[in-house]
Structure 1
Amino acid sequence: MTRNDPSPGPLTDPRGEPIAAKTIADQTYHQLRWDIVSGALAPGTKLAMDMLTKRYGVGMSPLREALVRLTGDALVHAEGQRGFWVTHVSIDELEDTMKTRTLIESEALARSIELGDEAWAERVRESYAALSAFEAQLDTGGDQVFAQWEHANRLFHEALVSACGSPWLIRMRRMLHQHSERYRLISLSHITPERDVHDEHEAIKDAALGRKALKATRLIELHLDRTTDAVRMALESRQRELDSAPTKRTSHRR
């Protein structure tokens, strides 16, 4: 399934309701973050300030604020006085990210199952229903539906852990989700779908709402392991293509 830089659409709150960015820097941060996560700004890209001011139509001050925030997210890195770059991707970093996300998300889910009230259960049901609606349209809906599915998928995973009682677990899980999302989106053109992700989500939802913590956390582990395997294979395929691409030779006239 190949996607071409799907737009994330308007900014939304945790329930998916549209919100306005508080400042120009907030809006720039969200736009720049999406362009990095989606691969529109490729790993290793030099983030030249003049290029970015034209791309986003903003001044230097909000742009620098957005870049500093993205550095904190580990999506951008700074090199002294030389400027900012989009963080590179690698298979080792993918596997480290996904293993850490699995640990954090499993713990947060187990706590939510123990502590979650009916309002939590309703959030899980509603977010799953929204996700399922987009999953049914994925094969024929195009890039906009895919972008909406990405958003719904993020909200479903957030709903599952939302009752864990630990703001730090929620923050760390969200950051790790953001990085795993980046790997998936960068690798999409090399992935051949061989999974029924809808069934995986349904099984996780049923176990969580059934208060079966051990089963739910095991299903989350399997779900994230399968994602890791698919993205790893995609990155390997991408690297093979780069390695086999003809190298440009410089001719020297004497």
Structure 2
Amino acid sequence: MTMARGPALKGGKTLMGSVYDRLRADIVDGELRPGARLRFEELKETYGVGLSPLREALTRLAAEKLVVLEQNRGFHVAPISRSDLDDLLFMRQETESLGIRRSIERGDDQWEAGVVAAIHALGKRESLTPEGHVDPEWERRHRVFHDSLVAACDSPRLLLYRELLTDHADRYRKLSHHYPSAGRDHLSEHVALADAVVARDAEEANRLIRKHLARTVEIIISDEDLRDSAFSD
């Protein structure tokens, strides 16, 4: 028996899949603020879809902990907090470290070449635009670089969970006014990581990725506006 998956759009994407992608992007990018109530009537008008695909998309986002469903209160964007950020850092450090270590053990010359190409591309782009905004292309290259470090880990489940953790971390980063310009030499940090990985130095790569992720959290926590307006504890 074949289950219906909702009306299809061009490219094979369902209506639910389309609104899910758009809602998810708006949450991760900070367009929908932490704790914001997600009212169906407003969402139907904003995203141009009906109740059923919206409910399916929100339920899926709730499973990913980006949305919260409270009894008698409906759906809300997941809040952010210091305790959640600390837990996120812990899990990212463990996951990234494991992914890099496994990739160093299993990666071939093609994997190494991917790391080298990704750091080269990242170094060709400034993190900020002339107007002082985060450059979207730099963001894309930054993600590609970090993905390249773990690309040979040979664990689809690890990569899937890591992607979800990265999206949660991106939400915090994009909500912070201090990212990515808070007195930080991004390129040097990334080059050091790439060098350690290509040299197959698992211990140094582990030290550097943990320090790199912790530094990002330190910068986010230093954002007084974010703490005052969005942190729930």
3-state SS, counterpart of residue 68 of structure 2: strand
TM-score, normalising length: structure 1: 0.80
Residue 73 of structure 1 corresponds to which residue in structure 2? 64
Instruction: Report whether the alignment pairs 1:205 with 2:194.
Output: yes
Instruction: State how 1:21-100 maps to structure 2 within 5 Å.
Output: 22-100=13-91
Identity %: 41
In the comparison of the two structures, how many residue pairs are matched? 221
CA distance in 2 between counterparts of 1:105 and 1:139 reads 28
3-state SS, counterpart of residue 184 of structure 2: coil
1:117 pairs, out of 108, 118, 131, with 108
Return 177-186 or 80-89, whichever deviates more: 80-89
User: What displacement does 1:36 show?
Assistant: 0.8
CA distance in 2 between counterparts of 1:189 and 1:218 reads 24
User: What displacement does 1:162 show?
Assistant: 1.4
Alignment-mate amino acid for residue 119 of structure 2: Y
**Structure 1: runs of 5 or more not aligned:** 1-18, 243-254
1:138 pairs, out of 125, 128, 135, with 128
2:182 pairs, out of 183, 187, 193, with 193
Residue 136 of structure 2 corresponds to which residue in structure 1? 147
Return 187-196 or 94-103, whichever deviates more: 187-196
Q: Does the 8 Å CA contact 2:129/2:135 hold for their aligned counterparts?
A: no
CA distance in 1 between counterparts of 2:113 and 2:195 reads 13
Instruction: Report whether the alignment pairs 1:219 with 2:208.
Output: yes
TM-score, normalising length: structure 2: 0.86
Alignment-mate amino acid for residue 217 of structure 1: N
Q: Does the 8 Å CA contact 1:26/1:66 hold for their aligned counterparts?
A: yes
CA distance in 1 between counterparts of 2:227 and 2:197 reads 38
Residue 76 to residue 240, structure 1, CA distance change in 2 (3 Å): closer
CA distance in 2 between counterparts of 1:148 and 1:56 reads 25
After superposition, the C-alpha distances for 1:110-169 in whole angstroms (9 at most, x for unaligned) are 0001101122222222322332223x26242664x6222222222211111111111221
User: What displacement does 1:78 show?
Assistant: 0.7
**Structure 2: runs of 5 or more not aligned:** 1-9
Report the aligned-residue RMSD.
2.2
CA distance in 1 between counterparts of 2:46 and 2:80 reads 23
Q: Does the 8 Å CA contact 2:93/2:209 hold for their aligned counterparts?
A: yes
After superposition, the C-alpha distances for 1:31-84 in whole angstroms (9 at most, x for unaligned) are 111111111111000101111111111222222221122112110011135321
3-state SS, counterpart of residue 40 of structure 1: coil
User: What displacement does 1:226 show?
Assistant: 0.5
Q: Does the 8 Å CA contact 1:21/1:27 hold for their aligned counterparts?
A: no
